[in-house]
Chain A
Amino acid sequence: MRNVLILARKETYTYYASPMAYVVSAVFLALAGHFLVRGLSTTVPEASVREMLTPLAFAVILWAPVTTMRLLAEEQKMGTLELLMTTPIREWEIVLGKFVALLMMFLGIVVPTFIYVGLLALYGSPDPGPLFSGYLGLMLYGGAAASLGLFTSSLSGNQIIAGATSAVALLFLTLADQAAEVVAGPPATILRSLSLPGHYNDFIAGVVELSDLVYFVTFIGIFLLLATLSLETRRWR
């Protein structure tokens, strides 16, 4: 586990040493502010972050591919993966270390939006339940997108291919519930069960369903496992 933290620390440090990290945080904060203001600009405004968190899930479709595509693909392209994998570190430690770093990076763009929560608390009385569950859902959404991106990044030495693949996959998983509206029967059920927003929306509504938690945890676990297997099979390719 020590290796996981060492790698996570190095990745987080490298990320925040780049100005890009602050640009991404600023853009995310601006988008969140825009969505919040739009949500509050109604005839009966509600002291809630619901209108902000719902569309922010779409911003994750942009964030995850851009952030994850370099993590393993660049290491493969630059050859540093060879250097890393000839130290006494296991493949799962590499994947988990990068994932923990991604969670830190995601926290880095989510935490500044607490400013808006503070402002809401100053001028209204937001319900802490949906607030907590909404942010929990956003973190799980970000974690799921990050795990998928990490997997696609492990497949290719080309960052663009890795990023584009995860963006397409995330777009599909985000629009799956809308696609379910136009089909019927088992395909619709499957699409709804696969949909990321379908499970995320309950969190925003203030409901923490066990099935939603299981969905996100399983989603993350499967893609981290796939990324680990991908790294392991790299040795045999």
Chain B
Amino acid sequence: MQDLIIETTALTKSFGPRKAIQGLSFSVQRGETVALLGTNGSGKTTTMRILCGYLPPTGGVASVAGFDVVSHSLDVRKAVGYLPEDVPLYADLTIRDSLRFFGALRKMRGRDMERRIDDVIEQVGLTEYRDVLILKLSKGYRQRAGLAIAILHEPDLLILDEPTVSIDPVQVAEVKELIRSLGTQHTVLLSTHQLSEAADLCSRAVVLSDGQVVADGLISEITKSNSAERRIRVEAKEGSTIVMGQLVGLASVTSTQECAPSLQGINAFTVTGSGPDLLNDIVVALVHAGVVVVSVEEEHPSLESAFLDLARTPKANTVA
């Protein structure tokens, strides 16, 4: 039996006439690190707010760690560590005092709490800044402080809303490393519209568009499955007239374009087409014509291109 930590069924949330999410159904297993992908306004933040017990859904059902988000909101909040977008923190408290405050609200106390605070501060790399007022911290350090608050009570589930937004590339790398290490100890659901981040940190993604799930599955499968069209890069010694002349008549090939070669004296082409035999057809045709083929390689579509395709066509495209 699957150990699901998040399960949503036909979840909807409306703000007046505007539907932020509509009929959202997805699940996350314990131990997974899952990306909630989508453009701005696709419903990522609303979904996360519902899952951490902050907003009630308008319809549908959502459960976290086995608790319904509406009827057992307090239990859900105990099970979740949440990092909201833009990391709101009490600027006039030090990092340590913030952690003491949130630790106390989470029923931690005494030496155990102090020990845990020290551990968490060390884990997020803020030992040097533990007694510095949050208002004096850079955005990257505030992000870490927010993460420290989220993981303080060792939650079953970490929900991170755009954890690397608006911080510089060095800090992005540091925060990503931190999230990667947290992923080994917690179930993580993180939202982002930075696709490279999702590919770096998560094995699975749930893609939202206009408040609906348009893809759900392994990132590698999402990138593969979204397009039936395949792209093959061919490098050969012969020029475009010969190569393109051989490929133009193949049934599996749609188009051939010359592109920048990797070596001098070599010509490179991008061949697009479809069907399982595309690669074989190309090689056979070229070799048969006496073309010296230097390399043939399939170009896998990036998550970016798959994501853009999905965002343009908001239709259910669930990858098992």
The interface of chain A, by Cβ under 8 A from chain B, is 2-3, 6-7, 10, 13-14, 17-18, 78-80, 82-90, 235-237
- Candidates A7, A86, A236; contact of B77 at CB < 8 Å: A86
- Candidates A14, A89, A90; contact of B90 at CB < 8 Å: A14
Interface membership of B80, Cβ < 8 A: yes
The interface of chain B, by Cβ under 8 A from chain A, is 15, 49, 52-56, 74, 77-78, 80, 82, 84, 86, 88-93, 97, 101-102, 104-107, 149
Q: Contacts A14-B93, A18-B92, A89-B105 given: A83-B78 contact, CB under 8 Å?
A: no
The closest CB in chain A to the CB of B93 belongs to A14
Q: Contacts A3-B105, A83-B149, A236-B56 given: A88-B86 contact, CB under 8 Å?
A: no
The closest CB in chain A to the CB of B88 belongs to A79
A80 B88 Cβ-Cβ under 8 A: yes
A82 B54 Cβ-Cβ under 8 A: yes
B52 A86 Cβ-Cβ under 8 A: yes
The closest CB in chain A to the CB of B49 belongs to A82
B54 A87 Cβ-Cβ under 8 A: no
A–B Cβ pairs within 8 angstroms, 25 of them? A2-B104, A6-B101, A6-B104, A7-B105, A10-B90, A10-B93, A14-B90, A14-B93, A78-B91, A80-B90, A82-B54, A83-B88, A83-B149, A84-B105, A86-B52, A86-B54, A86-B80, A87-B102, A87-B105, A87-B106, A88-B74, A88-B106, A90-B74, A235-B54, A235-B56
Report the 7 A-B pairs with minimum CB-CB distance, sorted nearest first. A79-B88, A6-B104, A87-B105, A80-B88, A86-B82, A86-B52, A88-B77
A78 B77 Cβ-Cβ under 8 A: no
A6 CB contacts on chain B under 8 angstroms: 101, 104-105
Distance, CA A6 to CA B74, complexed state (A): 17
B42 → A minimal CB distance (Å): 19
A17 B92 Cβ-Cβ under 8 A: yes
B132 → A minimal CB distance (Å): 14
A8 → B minimal CB distance (Å): 12
A13 CB contacts on chain B under 8 angstroms: 97
B81 → A minimal CB distance (Å): 9
A87 B90 Cβ-Cβ under 8 A: no
B97, B105, B107 — most chain A CB neighbours (10 Å): B105
A87 B77 Cβ-Cβ under 8 A: yes
The closest CB in chain B to the CB of A77 belongs to B88
A88 B88 Cβ-Cβ under 8 A: no
Distance, CA A104 to CA B53, complexed state (A): 31
The closest CB in chain A to the CB of B79 belongs to A88
B15 CB contacts on chain A under 8 angstroms: 237
B258 → A minimal CB distance (Å): 52
B80 CB contacts on chain A under 8 angstroms: 86
B149 CB contacts on chain A under 8 angstroms: 83
